[in-house]
Amino acid sequence: MRLNAKAEARWLAWSLMVRSRSVFKRFFDLLLAIILLVLSSPIFLLLALFIKRDGGPVFFQQIRIGLLGKEFRMYKFRSMRTDAEERLQELLSQNEKNDGVTFKLENDPRVTTVGRFIRRCSLDELPQLVNVIKGEMSLVGPRPPVRREVALYSQSDRHRFYVKPGITCLWQVGERKGEFWEIGNRNEIDFTEQVELDVRYIENRSFRRDLWILVKTIPALLFGK
């Protein structure tokens, strides 16, 4: 009975610690997302005007898979033509990613002129601050995949769903070796390594780690990596 009581106490202490970390992370995400959304509102307005000139909606909405495999609607500034999803099938054969799960095409004909600029600077991701405020995403975490990708996932790939998806992560800033100042080219990282880096993040996540990934995201964006 005494051993059971000690084990129960340890489990309770661990449970409280995990919950307190989750609450603190959520508070930090919410506070910083609101601040960033307010500060970037002039950029929002300017980008909306430029995108609208191309015709079609300003925002692109897509179903993504998040925490524990739950679907949610993710927001981005529209960087592609309005028929982009319909044209995807005819472009899959030109996929530059050898893994066959993720899709990348450097000179994608679906991308608009404005879209090329905002993609290079990752400004198309700004509306995801709304997803963070809604509690569907975190500032830092594995990038949320689309249904087509998840259908090709192995069981180990699904470990990414253990935490909320994020706007930025280890492979987004090109941190492959775990070095403190490391910032690399995310385009060189294939799907298998993306999963490995996401699992490494999940197993070693902390507030200090999240903060440093956010700091490294700034030069990663400025230098177009």
Query: Considering the domain boundaries, does residue 11 fall inside one?
Result: no
Range of the domain at 90: 23-222
- For 148-170, what is each residue's pLDDT tens digit? 889 889 888 999 999 999 999 99
Angle (deg, nearest 10), helices 207-222 and 2-39: 30
Query: Considering the domain boundaries, does residue 123 fall inside one?
Result: yes
Beta-strand pair 138-140/59-65: unpaired
pTM attached to this predicted model = 0.84
Whole-angstrom Cα Rg for the chain? 19
Query: Considering the domain boundaries, does residue 10 fall inside one?
Result: no
Query: Considering the domain boundaries, does residue 27 fall inside one?
Result: yes
Question: Strand ranges (DSSP E) for the chain?
Answer: 59-65, 71-77, 138-140, 166-168
CB 160 within 8 A of CB 65: no
- For 46-102, what is each residue's pLDDT tens digit? 999 999 887 789 999 999 999 999 999 999 999 888 776 777 766 665 565 555 566
What domain count does the chain have?
A: 1
Query: Considering the domain boundaries, does residue 16 fall inside one?
Result: no
Query: Considering the domain boundaries, does residue 28 fall inside one?
Result: yes
Question: Strand ranges (DSSP E) for 66-118?
Answer: 71-77
CA distance linking residue 23 with residue 5, whole number of Å: 27
